[in-house]
Amino acid sequence: MNTERSDHGLSRVGQVKEVTSLANPIIKEIRALSQKKHRDETHSFMAEGLKLVIDALDLGWKIRTLVYAKAAKGKPQVEQIAARTVAKGGLVLEVSEKVISTITRRDNPQMVVGIFEQRYRALKDIHPQEGETYVALDRVRDPGNLGTIIRTADAAGASGVILVGDTTDPFSLETVRATMGSVFAMPIVRASAEDFIHWQKSAGVRVVATHLAGSVDYRTIDYRSKPVVLLMGNEQAGLPVELAREAGALARIPQAGRADSLNLAIATGIMLFEARRHLLALDAG
Ligand code: SAM
């Protein structure tokens, strides 16, 4: 095999580039993906783990770069995704453990990392159908909450997550990690509060807004006759009046004990599984 070593410590073996130096410009680019500004500029993000990368490729996500640790070299599944990456015009990097743990900021890193193109759906293209449930999140701030909600929405069979207003980045490393791969399965939409209000008026949906001052017990709502959008409030401020007043129902999950409210991701999970209770069965999963 031919190995060429270039100035920045990067060598080429066939289609695979071997990288050992943290100063390598491609590695610097990948490390910069920890900043939202760089993710936005390049429309890309990082996902860790062999299974996640395989799932993403199977679901048609565009991979730009595949990075794997030397220790994973020769594993059939790694060879397969490397070949698929090259076939799609992507770059494959074989790196040292030090490089991969620096990229992922972990002592015990995954052996495989993929850099993918970001993907959003446009709100105007969302036409909810019978039996569908969407989650709309007003200004969600916490990456762990957002990732958990995307994962839970996927598990409940929801059709998409709509991010309303200025929210945390669904493609940050922390959010992607918390989704456990569901970021690749769940359509994600971004919208301003105005666009969301405008859309929901004509989309033929029942918006169920959740609020600590809600007077409707969430278990008494009709989730069957129309597609449902569960509207959840910001972690600190809850739902603003402009959004709350547009909703068909202000739902509340009854609580006991001393806690003022439920964690946003927990409340969303409870709502999702109630809204889809009639559609979920043990043997259908
Ligand atoms: N201080 C905020 C407030 O006064 O609304 C608390 C917000 S709570 C942590 C975040 C979101 O989770 C709420 O806006 C609501 O969507 C949902 N939530 C939490 N507990 C709930 C409950 N018991 N009933 C309905 N929604 C709830």
Helix (H) or strand (E) holding 103: helix 97-104
Q: How far is CA 249 from the centre of its chain?
A: 28
The two tokens of residue 236 are: 């600190």
pLDDT of residue 155: 98
Ligand 1 contact via 253 beta carbon (within 6 Å)? yes
Ligand 1 contact via 81 beta carbon (within 6 Å)? no
Look at 3-7, 15-19, 236-240, 248-252 and tell me which has the smallest mean pLDDT. 3-7
pLDDT band at 7 (very low <50, low <70, confident <90, very high): very low
Query: Which of 167, 260, 261 has most ligand 1 atoms within 8 Å of its beta carbon, as the pocket-test mutant?
Result: 261
pLDDT band at 110 (very low <50, low <70, confident <90, very high): confident
Euclidean distance between CA atoms 229 and 247, whole angstroms? 10
Please list the residues that pair with 91 across neighbouring strands. 65
Euclidean distance between CA atoms 190 and 193, whole angstroms? 10
Ligand 1 contact via 270 beta carbon (within 6 Å)? no
Distance of CA 160 from the midpoint of ligand 1 (Å): 21
pLDDT of residue 285: 55
Bigger pLDDT: 10 vs 131: 131
Which residue has its alpha carbon closest to ligand 1 atom 25? Answer: 252
Bigger pLDDT: 284 vs 221: 221
Instruction: Give SS3 for 72.
Output: helix
Q: What percent of the chain has pLDDT over 90?
A: 88
Amino acid occupying residue 274 = E
Ligand 1 contact via 261 beta carbon (within 6 Å)? yes
Distance of CA 120 from the midpoint of ligand 1 (Å): 26
ipTM entry? 0.99
Distance of CA 56 from the midpoint of ligand 1 (Å): 33
State the DSSP string of 109-172. --SEEEEEE---B-GGG----TT-EEEEEES---HHHHHHHHHHHHHHT--EEEEESS---TTS
Exposure b/e, 266-278, CB count within 10 A at least 16 = b: ebbbbbbebbbee
Ligand 1 contact via 187 beta carbon (within 6 Å)? no
Question: Hey, what's the torsion of the CAs at 73, 78, 80, 86, to 10 degrees?
Answer: -80
pLDDT one-digit tens code per residue, 194-244? 999 999 999 999 999 999 999 999 999 999 999 999 999 999 999 999 999
